[in-house]
Amino acid sequence: MIDPYDILGVSREADGTAIKAAYRKHAKAAHPDAGGDVDAFARLTTSYELLSDPVRRKVYDDTGYDPDLADTRDLQGLVILETLVNEMILDERDPGSFDPVSSMRRKLTDRIVNARIHILEMERHRARIRNHIDRIGRKPETDVLGRMLKSRCETINDAISKSEAEIITIEQAYGMLDGYTYEIEPERIKAAAE
């Protein structure tokens, strides 16, 4: 995630005047017409727009994320975490009686394991189809069956790629949980042990 405060070189307490002054100072050197990098100038402008908008700035300050500055993988990871946070909120157990962060980690681990098992199953099916392709006799004029079987292999390849991308996204969400712990009430730990 790009930090707009770092990009503009202002403190988190900076007011609109300081933000505007910092933007103008950096924009002169960063503008592509002045020999600056197009991507760097775009990040500078997006940072200025974010910090100039009180609503977007509040959301960024509260969450650390803004869709215009976030990496796509971060946003996808946030979508996964959002679902898990909703599940935590809807859990009827008393706060402090269970560890929702550990629960989130377990659910993410289960999703990764299930995706890997799914990939293995698809690879097994693809191998069987390829074996059929190797063994089937072809008609001289057209190979309808061969094309159909090859098409199935391509569909499986696409599904495997999607599952691999899903694993990367889930791992991204898992990484976002790094550093979080949850305090369970000591009397609840004793009660669970008995």
Q: Is the pLDDT of residue 190 over 60?
A: no
Answer yes or no: do 185 and 107 share one domain.
yes
Query: Which of the listed ranges 58-67, 72-81, 104-113, 176-185 does the model predict with the highest average pLDDT?
Result: 104-113
Res 72 pLDDT > 80: no
One domain for residues 59 and 77 = no
Say yes or no: 13 and 64 in one domain: yes
pLDDT at 161: 97
- Over the stretch 83-140, which tens digit does the pLDDT of each residue have? 999 999 999 998 988 999 999 999 999 999 999 999 999 999 999 999 999 888 877 6
189 pLDDT above the threshold of 80 = no
Residues 31 and 123 reside in one and the same domain: no
In this structure, are 58 and 104 located in the same domain?
Answer: no
Predicted pLDDT of residue 174: 95
46 and 121 in a common domain: no
Percentage above 70 pLDDT, the chain: 95
Q: What is the pLDDT of residue 86?
A: 92
Alpha carbon distance 180, 111 (integer Å): 20
Dist CA 85 CA 77 (whole Å) = 12
Taking the alpha carbons of 33, 39, 43, 49 in that order, is the dihedral positive or negative? Answer: positive
> What domain count does the chain have?
2
Is 59 a residue whose pLDDT tops 80? Answer: yes
CB atoms within 10 A of CB 55: 7
pLDDT of residue 1: 65
pLDDT in tens, 134-160: 888 877 678 888 889 999 999 999 999
Domain coverage including residue 31: 4-70
Same domain, 20 and 91: no
Domain end residue (candidates: 70, 90, 105): 70
In a shared domain, residues 190 and 95:
yes
pLDDT given for residue 131 in this prediction: 94
117 and 181 housed in the same domain: yes
Rounded distance between C-alpha atoms, residue 170 and residue 80, angstroms: 7
pLDDT for res 125 = 96
Of the residues 44, 70, 96, the one at which a domain ends: 70
60/89 same-domain check: no
Give 31-47 pLDDT, tens digit per residue.
888 888 898 899 899 99
Q: For the chain, what percentages of helix, strand and coil (3-state, to nearest 5) are there?
A: 75, 0, 25
CATH code assigned at 32: 1.10.287.110
The alpha carbon of 159 is separated from its chain's Cα centroid by a whole number of angstroms, namely 19
Is residue 44 within 8 A of residue 8, CB to CB? The reply is: yes
Mean pLDDT estimate for the chain: 89
Q: Name the token pair of 100.
A: 């929702």
- Do 105 and 184 belong to one domain? yes
From 32, 49, 70, give the residue that closes a domain. 70
Residues 163 and 79 in one domain: yes
Contact 95, 88 (CB under 8 A): no
